[in-house]
Amino acid sequence: MTGNGQPSALSSQQETLTPELRAVLIRKLTALADDEIILAHRDGEWTGHAPILEEDIALANIAQDELGHASLYLDLRGRLDGSDPDRLAFFRDAGEFTNVRLVELPKGDWAFTMLRQFLFDAYEALWLDAARGSTYAPLAEVAAKAVREERFHLQHAALWVERLALGTEESRRRTQNALDELWPHVAQLFAPVPGEAELVAAGIVPDLGEVCTRWEGFVVPHLTGKCGLLLPMTLADAAEGRDVHTEHLAPLLAEMQGVARQHANAEVW
């Protein structure tokens, strides 16, 4: 991932951020990017293994977009603290990643993959839609850009969830299993990072509660009404923060970062 541009004339706005807001914004941008990087890796694991060639290509495309979004967020972070997106992606350990646990779970079967993608894409599309109104212009720009791409991911995943849920008994069983397994993890998508309320108060990022309400209004009718799936009764749990991971993240990073770490001085990987 290489940065793709110079800042537009916005440095004056960055100077108006208080040091506290700046620190929280850096944390938030990193969390947003980490979700995308890890999900992109999981999607990339299907390359060469998807059920049909078209889906192989589709998921590779989606992974590429998600990495593109991570790159946009990390470029924004770089403008604030001079950090290097490649160092952040390839040279941090599991304990330093701040992705939600939803995205690091192993790729599972196709139903699991598509359902996770649907739950995440709906969240991402609606968050970006709201973030277009950010008072922090560089973020508003990024959101306006990325939301146009995210719509296609969401359409794709929604269609697959429908197809699998209403397909055969086997595909329905697998889709319901995926929902049961994934549902407890979605609450974390709507859990703010420490200090995020300050960013919301300043109009810099959308209120996650409002995004969640829209998300439920969008996702629940699709899953239950259209697809006839049963929402699990499990209480959604976001109690542990983004610094707590499952045992699945470290092996993922070992694979993702292997080449970069072995050839740390290479210009491109």
Partner 1 sequence: MTAPHVTPEQVWSALAAVPDPEIPVVSVTDMGMVRDVAVDGGRVTVTFTPTFSGCPALHVIRESIGEAVRALGVPDVEVRSTLTPPWTTDWIQPDARERLRQYGIAPPAPAGDTPLITLDPEPTRCPRCGSLNVRMTASFGPTLCKRLYVCESCKEPFEGFKSV
| Residues that bind partner 1 in the complex, under the rule CB under 8 A | 2, 4-6, 8, 54-55, 57-59, 61-62, 64-69, 71-72, 125-126, 129, 137, 141-142, 144-149, 151-152, 154-156, 158-159, 218, 222
In this structure, the number of other CB atoms found within 10 A of the CB of residue 187 comes to 16
Q: Which is nearer to partner 1, 53 or 235 (CB)?
A: 53
Which of residues 68 and 108 has its CB atom nearest to partner 1 in the complex?
A: 68
In angstroms, give the least distance from the CB of 171 to partner 1.
Answer: 19
Q: How far is the CB of 155 from partner 1 (least distance, A)?
A: 5
Neighbours of 157 (CB within 10 A): 23
Q: How far is the CB of 143 from partner 1 (least distance, A)?
A: 9
What amino acid is encoded at 9 in this protein? Answer: A
For residue 199, the Cα-to-chain-centroid distance in whole angstroms is 19
For partner 1, the closer of residues 71 and 176 by Cβ is 71
Which among 79, 86, 62, 70 has a CA at the least distance from the CA of 5?
Answer: 79
Question: Cα torsion at 52, 57, 59, 60 (round to 10°)?
Answer: 140
Q: How far is the CB of 128 from partner 1 (least distance, A)?
A: 9
Measured from the CB atom, is 115 or 146 closer to partner 1?
146
Give the span between the Cα atoms of 250 and 267, in whole angstroms.
Answer: 25
